[in-house]
Amino acid sequence: MSAVIVEGLRKHYGDVRAVDGVSFTVAEGEVFALLGPNGAGKTTTVEILEGHRDRDGGTVSVLGLDPATGGRAYRERIGIVLQEAGFEEEFTVTELVRLYAGFYPHPRDPGEVIDQVGLADKRNARVRTLSGGQKRRLDLALGLVGRPELLFLDEPTTGFDPSARHRAWELIDGLRALGTTILLTTHYMDEAQNLADRVAVLRGGRLVAIGAPDTLGGAGRGSVLSFRLPEGAVPADLPPLTGEVEVYGEAVAVHTGQAARDMHALTGWALERGVELTSLTLSQPSLEDVYLDLIEQPGPAAGDGEPGASSGSVIGDGESESSPEPAAGEEFAPGRRS
Ligand SMILES: Nc1ncnc2c1ncn2[C@@H]1O[C@H](COP(=O)(O)OP(=O)(O)OP(=O)(O)O)[C@@H](O)[C@H]1O
């Protein structure tokens, strides 16, 4: 079942089309990341889902309710971790987490939550004395304490030191294991890669791609086979390959959509000649490579039609309105992540 269903969502600020016909679904128990450059419309989308911002068009269902009219019954079922929450600075950490716990019918134990976010030694400190990263951890505690079915995390680890960040990832993973649905925004591709079951890329208020982090952009992006030319060999000696061959001195890179076939041809060739293919590696484009491609290529945000990619999980101009579901084979199954 879907925890979130967004169809044809629109929000305009004067001439700025902040969200321009966005459709997607988030399954129950899924960790879903919204990616996109500054101003892409992520926060606006999330704020509409939280019930904090009105929409100009489209339909939104979150936990079966419309956030615009869900009221208190809706707010009790969600948790929100904002980019910049304004706290009551004179409260202590424990006082504030307890205060928030009191807003919810079935809260978590405040002390446990404070421990989980790594603020145990600051439990009696006043909020104004916390460092930036510690305040962000307090944000996380306040988002968790109500035992939400759906947690919104807006750039949850911005300003965290590396170990706090890994701790937050573990915490988010733990929430996933408890079945909490999580919708997060982030600028960190490693965070999306580590945490998200699926990611959606927004650009200029439109959805340009959606899929699992490992397959975003589709299989059409292929793999890269790299190796060093054996001594005495020249590129013309190489066997016929399906991929495009690039040679930089001794180094060869084969960009291929048929990695097994090309690998077989190359290793067979090397064995026949009795030579080694040193530094032979097969690699995939990283999520960051794919993301940069997606947001840099000309596309609907620039007003010039198709984004120029043909893969199943890349969405053409306007298509996001009519096809809210991910491409076939990308349905979410809890626990599917490796
Ligand atoms: N209250 C507002 N009034 C006018 N324009 C707004 C308002 N809020 C957002 N915008 C504009 O809407 C667009 C989308 O902004 P939004 O904050 O949703 O982007 P974002 O993807 O979250 O960006 P970031 O990564 O910088 O947080 C931007 O062009 C922004 O300037």
Residue 19 within a domain: yes
Structural domain contains residue 165 = yes
Residue 168 shares a structural domain with residue 266: no
pLDDT at position 201 is 96
Domain presence at residue 132: no
Task: Write down the pLDDT at residue 252.
Answer: 93
**Residue-level pLDDT at 245:** 92
Is residue 97 in a domain?
no
Q: Tell whether 153 and 264 lie within a shared domain.
A: no
331 falls within a domain: no
The answer to the question of residue 64 being in a domain is yes
Strand spans (E) along 66-120: 78-81
- Tell me, yes or no, whether 56 and 34 share the same domain: yes
CA dist., res. 177 & res. 182, Å (int): 11
Within a domain: 167: yes
* Whole-number pLDDT of residue 117: 87
Q: What is the DSSP code string of 221-239?
A: G-EEEEEEPPTT--GGGSP
Nearest protein Cα to ligand 1, atom 18: 41
**Strands 206-211, 78-81: parallel, antiparallel or unpaired by DSSP?**
unpaired
Are 67 and 47 within 8 A, CB to CB? no
Q: Find out whether the beta carbon of 82 lies less than 6 Å from any atom of ligand 1.
A: no
Higher local confidence (pLDDT), 328 or 132 = 132
Q: Is the pLDDT of residue 44 over 60?
A: yes
Q: Could you tell me if 30 and 51 lie in one domain?
A: yes
| Tens digit of each residue's pLDDT (9 = 90 or more) over 229-243 | 998 899 999 999 999
Atom index in ligand 1 nearest the CA of residue 41 equals 18
153 and 279 both lie in a single domain = no
Residue 27 inside a domain? The answer is yes
Kindly give the distance from the C-alpha atom of residue 17 to the centroid of ligand 1, in angstroms, as a whole number. Answer: 10
3-state secondary structure of 174: helix
**201 shares its domain with 264:** no
Same domain, 72 and 166: yes
Q: Decide which of 236, 253, 283 is a domain's last residue.
A: 283
Closest ligand 1 atom to 34 CA: 21
Res 299: pLDDT: 55
Question: Residues of 163-172 as b/e, b for ≥16 C-beta within 10 angstroms?
Answer: ebbebbbebb
Co-location of 154 and 277 in the same domain: no
Lowest mean pLDDT among 58-72, 214-228, 263-277: 214-228
User: What percent of the chain is modeled with pLDDT above 90?
Assistant: 58
Distance 16 CA to ligand 1 centre (A): 9
Check whether 334 has a pLDDT greater than 80: no
Instruction: Measure the CA–CA gap between 83 and 152, rounded to whole angstroms.
Output: 11
pLDDT in tens, 176-209: 888 899 999 999 999 999 999 999 999 999 999 9
Confidence of residue 157 (pLDDT cuts 50, 70, 90): confident
Predicted structure pTM score? 0.77
User: Cα separations (Å) of 294 from 189, 210, 252, 307?
Assistant: 13, 11, 26, 8
Read off the DSSP letter of residue 220. G
Same structural domain, 229 and 318 = no
Note whether 153 and 54 are same-domain residues. yes
Average pLDDT score over the chain: 85
Q: Is the domain of 231 the same as that of 312?
A: no
Query: Taking residues 39-60, what's their average pLDDT?
Result: 95
From ligand 1's centre to the CA of 41, what distance in Å? 6
Does ligand 1 have an atom closer than 6 angstroms to the CB of 15? Answer: no
Query: What pLDDT was estimated at residue 14?
Result: 93
- Range(s) of the domain holding residue 241: 223-283
Position 6 scores a pLDDT of 98
Which of 15, 42, 186 has most ligand 1 atoms within 8 Å of CB, for mutation?
Answer: 42
Domain end marker among 263, 283, 303: 283
Report d(CA 51, CA 27) in Å as an integer: 19
Q: Is the same domain home to 69 and 155?
A: yes
44 CA to middle of ligand 1, Å?
Answer: 6
CA of 98 to the centre of ligand 1 (A): 32
Q: How many domains does the chain have?
A: 2
Dmax over CA atoms of the chain, in Å, equals 76
Name the pLDDT band for 153 (thresholds 50, 70, 90): very high
Nearest CA residue ID for atom 29, ligand 1: 39
315 lines ligand 1 (CB under 6 A): no
State whether the beta carbon of 84 lies less than 6 angstroms from ligand 1. no
State if residue 18 touches ligand 1 by the CB under 6 angstroms criterion.
Answer: yes
What is the structure's pLDDT at 314?
A: 64
Distance 20 CA to ligand 1 centre (A): 12
- Provide the residue type at 161 as one letter: D
**ipTM of model over 0.95:** yes
The larger pLDDT score, comparing residue 316 to residue 82, is at 82
Please state the rounded mean pLDDT for residues 261-288: 91
Distance in angstroms (rounded) separating the CA atoms of residues 217 and 198: 12
Dist. CA 78–CA 337, nearest whole Å: 24
Residue 313 in tokens: 């999980």
Q: Is 259 in the pocket of ligand 1 (CB under 6 A)?
A: no
The predicted pLDDT at position 268 comes to 96
